[in-house]
Amino acid sequence: MRPALVVAATTVREALRERLLHNLLVFAVILIASSITISQLTVGDQYRIIADVSASSTQVFGTLIAVFLSVALISRELDRRTCYPMLARPIGRGAFLAGKALGLLAVVTLNGLVMAAASLATISAYAGASAVPLSAFAAAFALMILQFAICIGFAALFSTFTTPTLATVYTLSFVAAGHVFSEIRSFWLTDKRVELKWLVRVLDYVLPNMGLLDLKEAITYRDPVQWASLGWRAGYGMAYAVLLVAMGAVIFARRDVR
Amino acid sequence: MSPMPGWLRTVAPILALAATAAAARFELEPIASARKPIRELAFLPDGRTLRAVSLGQRHTLADYYWLSLVQHVGVASESKAPRWDAVFPVANLVTDLDPRYGYAYQEAGGVLSGLAKRVDLSDRILEKGIAAVPDRWQLHWNLAYNKYFYENDKRTAAHHLKLAAEVGKRPHLYYQAAALAMDSSAADDYDFAIHILEVALAEAEAEPLRQVIAERLVRAYTDRTLAAVERAVEAFRLRHGRPPDSLEALVADRLLPAVPPDPAGGRIEYDPKTGATRSSVLGERQPILKGPIE
């Protein structure tokens, strides 16, 4: 465990120096703050626009940060063989990959907290602090961080056997497929015209169901948080992300890196 | 002639390019500032398809189309020949993307009936909203408004008013629904119409719609006043066997407490030869429940 934590600490320091991270974060915060101006374009129900734009900005920019940062810090390092000095030390490959993923998760969580704080400040500035549904807000942003964790998991998995460009493409494709599939699965499962329902069932479990980790709607409509459901969702997200990193570790352990 | 200094050789082309860009930008200002209303309905995507490929951003897409719709309504209401044909498809798309967007159903329903004169489409979007957001009482209320004022269907109007009262926990709507159900044969139920219009004015937020409702409310106040004067004239005729010479004669006979002011801002006029009364601003009283607001 200790070697993994050392790698994680190194990864955090390395990630915080990435300019891409700072640029995307600044864009996200600017977009969140500008949601007040965007909301002035409508009549009535402006809170909704601010809440939607803030949460969506966090989700989109957080996903981009997670994917590009992960590929940059794992895939690039393996591709350029800059990880060799580290691997020459008494540290397992699995611990190395887990440490990388853990460090990236820490950085992405920090980013998520910054964007959550910006969102909270923006919504409070418009509607007052008492108008913010705090439990829904916390639940939605916590699940968003688990979405980012899944992005890191995919990036870690693909980084172990392909190039940085392909790792980025594959990761974004699987995340997008997870979003699309969570919307259309109900139609596929209920519509009589769609055959091969067994395949839909298989895909339903293989692809990440990003819709289950998306509670932005709870902020928009100030829905009460169902804590049991939140627990299951969080368990699903964590298990899926850890599974991806574990699969990556298995592949990485068998890879010839000479 | 001394050669150009080195730093100037670098800065001069940059300044020239900046000046060119600024000049072109100045020339393009009318295009940059032009409003771009929704015209090409053929390019509106299918709501279900767009939702499937929205990558978890269906709320933000719904907001985008909603803001476009608000701009479209604003432009159309200022136009001399307004086009409203985008309202229903865009509202339908918005509510396909976010079926819980109660405010969109409510406002689109009001615009479609009040401004676009498409009560059929207004009913459709409101019924879709009631199915998706059954706890939003304003949708029942808007549908009752359509049924009462535009479709002369008092029975259905009373039903939806009752549902609005139940869902919204608004007892005064029960009273109105009951009055409508019991008095469905009375053609001059101005008090009821005024009740509904006052609530409608308090609920509507789109300025063009508020204006239409406010104008209709003045019409209802004026017609209620004219109806009261007509009843007094008829009572005078029964009592004396002839019409009164003036409105003051009604006051002297204690049939009216005073000559009423004209709610439309003019004065109440009376013709002793015909016995007819009229507002100097809005003219003669109009029977209510005669089609959509003009």
**Structure pTM?**
0.72
**Cβ <8 Å between A44 and B205:** yes
Interface of A with B in 51-90 (CB under 8 A): 52-53, 55-56, 59-60
Q: Nearest by CB to B59, which of A179, A184, A220?
A: A220
In tens, the pLDDT along B113-135 reads 988 889 999 999 999 999 999 99
CB spacing of A41 vs B103 below 8 angstroms: no
Q: Is A179 on the interface with B (CB under 8 A)?
A: yes
| ipTM of the modeled complex | 0.79
Domain regions of chain A by residue span: 2-254
| pLDDT-based confidence at residue A103 (cuts at 50, 70, 90) | very high
Residue type, B172: H
**Residue numbers in B near A41 (CB within 8 A):** 67, 70-71
Q: Which residues contact B54 (CB under 8 A, 6 or more apart)?
A: A179, A183, B61, B97
Average pLDDT over residues A112-129: 88
On chain A, the residues whose CB falls within 8 A of the CB of B66 are 42
CA distance A71 to A78: 10
pLDDT reported for residue B175:
57
A194 close to B (CB below 8 A): no
Contact A184 B52 (CB under 8 A): yes
Residues A142/A57, Cβ–Cβ less than 8 Å: no
Q: Would you call A43 and B60 a contact, using CB atoms and an 8 Å cutoff?
A: no
The torsion of the CA quartet A56, A58, A61, A63, rounded to 10 degrees, works out to: -90
Inter-helix orientation angle B171-182/B137-145, to 10°: 30
Q: Minimal Cα distance from B103: which residue of A?
A: A45
CA distance A119 to chain B (A): 15
For B46, the token pair is 């299918």
pLDDT of residue A106: 94
Q: At what angle do helices A227-254 and A93-127 cross, to 10 degrees?
A: 150
Tell me what the pLDDT averaged over chain A comes to.
87
> Which region, left, alpha or beta, applies to residue B271 given φ > 0 means left and ψ of -120 to 50 means alpha?
beta
Query: A191, A221, A223: which to substitute to probe chain B, counting the most B Cβ within 10 Å?
Result: A221
A-to-B residue pairs, Cβ atoms closer than 8 angstroms:
56
Q: Which of A34, A45, A67, A223 to mutate to test the interface with B (most CBs of B within 10 A)?
A: A45
pLDDT for B219 beyond 60: yes
B70-103 residues labelled b (16+ CB within 10 A) or e (exposed) = bbbbbebbeeeeeebebbbbbbbbbbbbbbbbbb
B208-235 mean pLDDT:
86
- Residue B30 above 60 pLDDT? yes
Q: Which residues of A touch B100 (CB under 8 A)?
A: 217, 221
Helix (H) or strand (E) holding B120, with range, is helix B119-132
Q: Give φ, ψ of A216 to 5 degrees.
A: -60, -35
Does residue A7 sit in helix, strand or coil?
A: helix
- The region of weakest confidence among A145-149, B14-18, B78-82, B136-140 is B78-82
Q: Which chain B residues have a beta carbon less than 8 Å from that of A187?
A: 48
Q: In a 10 Å sphere around its CB, with 0-12 CB exposed, 13-18 middle and 19+ buried, how is residue B44 labelled?
A: middle
Decide if pLDDT at B207 tops 90: no
Q: Which amino acid is at B122?
A: S
Chain B residue with the nearest C-alpha to that of A188: B52
What residues of chain B lie within 8 A of the CB of A42, using their CB? Answer: 66-67, 70
**Which H or E element spans position B33?**
helix B29-33
Q: What region does A226 belong to: left with phi over 0, alpha with psi -120 to 50, or beta?
A: beta
Asked if A214's CB is within 8 angstroms of B63's CB, the reply is: no
Q: Do B71 and A41 touch (CB under 8 A)?
A: yes
Contact B207 A38 (CB under 8 A): no
Q: Give CA–CA dist B131/B168, Å, rounded.
A: 16
Residues from chain A contacting residue B56 (CB–CB below 8 Å): 59, 179, 182, 210-211, 214, 216
CB contact under 8 A, B56 and A179: yes
**Would you say A62 and A144 are in contact if contact means Cβ atoms under 8 Å apart?**
yes
| pLDDT tens digits, B125-173 | 999 999 999 999 999 999 998 998 888 887 788 788 878 877 887 656 6
Q: Which residue of B has its CA nearest to A185?
A: B52
B70 CB neighbours in chain A (<8 A) are 41-43
pLDDT exceeds 80 at position A91: no
Which pLDDT does position B289 carry in this prediction? 47
Interface test with B, best of A40, A50, A52 (most B CBs within 10 A): A52
Cβ–Cβ under 8 Å, residues B98 and B132: no
For B266-291, write each residue's pLDDT tens digit: 999 999 888 889 999 999 887 654 44
Higher pLDDT, A85 or A25: A25
- The answer to whether A223 contacts chain B (CB < 8 Å) is no
Contact B100 A217 (CB under 8 A): yes
Structure token digits, residue B1:
């002639």
pLDDT for A257 equals: 65
Helix (H) or strand (E) holding B278: strand B276-279
Q: Which helix (H) or strand (E) holds B53?
A: none
* B103–A179 C-beta distance less than 8 A: no
Would the CB atoms of B59 and A38 count as touching at under 8 Å?
no
Q: B46, B53, B60, B66: best mutation site toward chain A, by most A Cβ within 10 Å?
A: B60
Binary contact (B59, A59; C-beta < 8 A): no
